Amino acid sequence: MSIEQNLDAILERYKTSFIEKVYSEENDDHDLLMKAFGISPALKRENRQYWGRELGKCWESLVIEACKILPTFQPALRIGGDEPCDLIVQNYAIDTKYRLGSGDSGTLKKFKLYGPLLRERGYEPVFLFLREDNLPAAMTACQSGTWNIYTGKQSFDFIKEISGFDMEDYLMRKAMAFLVVR
């Protein structure tokens, strides 16, 4: 199967999950992943934590799928019980995030610790954020952890540079292709 067919399968799987999800509870921003599923900001606001988590896992799966055909691809690095990154390509230890909205001290501490830990092992730590509306305190923790941080368009450009696959174009073409109809 081609990369696009594999990516379509990931989006289809998440579409089914989104349609079946039942939940209960003001951001009007759209992103390309929301557009692929036809998820409105109003629907996302009903349960921000759910959508953030699931769209984050979908983003991670898409990035991994786009990169796993590369000869230097490696899956998530495990150090003890932790996974400080989602994948490795070349010397980049890449962690994907849909959006960084958590400012809890445990999360921020990990961001500060993981960058140097990855560098000690010879990797260049990279965060790929799909969205640009990230919590400033959390972004500061990433920077102090010596991560290279890419957001929005920068993330798409980075993916294209290392993999040759244009994820931005792919997601633009998939707008409304995996509609979540509830």
Q: What proportion of the chain, given as a percentage, has pLDDT over 70? A: 94
In this prediction, residue 96 carries a pLDDT of 96
In this prediction, residue 139 carries a pLDDT of 85
Mean pLDDT, all residues of the chain = 90
Place of tokens 């610790």: 113
In this prediction, residue 172 carries a pLDDT of 97
Please write the tens of the pLDDT for every residue from 116-162: 999 999 999 999 999 988 778 788 888 888 999 999 999 999 999 99
In this prediction, residue 46 carries a pLDDT of 84
Please write the tens of the pLDDT for every residue from 63-86: 999 999 999 999 999 988 889 999
For residue 87, which amino acid is it?
L
pTM: 0.85
HSE-up (13 A, CA, CB side) for residue 113? 10
- pLDDT reading at 179 higher than 80: yes
Give the single-character DSSP code of 82: B
Q: How confident is the model at residue 112 (pLDDT cuts 50, 70, 90)?
A: confident
Q: How confident is the model at residue 24 (pLDDT cuts 50, 70, 90)?
A: very low
- pLDDT reading at 23 higher than 90: no
In this prediction, residue 68 carries a pLDDT of 96
Domains and CATH numbers, the chain: 3-173 (3.40.1350)
**Within the chain, how many helices (H) and strands (E) appear?**
8, 5
Q: How confident is the model at residue 45 (pLDDT cuts 50, 70, 90)?
A: confident
Neighbours of 69 (CB within 10 A): 13
Q: Which of 28, 8, 4, 24 is nearest to 16 (CA)?
A: 8
Alpha helices in 21-166 (DSSP H): 32-37, 41-46, 48-67, 105-120, 136-144, 153-163
Whole-angstrom distance, CA of residue 153 vs CA of residue 168: 8
Buried b (16+ CB within 10 A) or exposed e, 154-180: ebbebbeebbebebbebbeebeeebeb
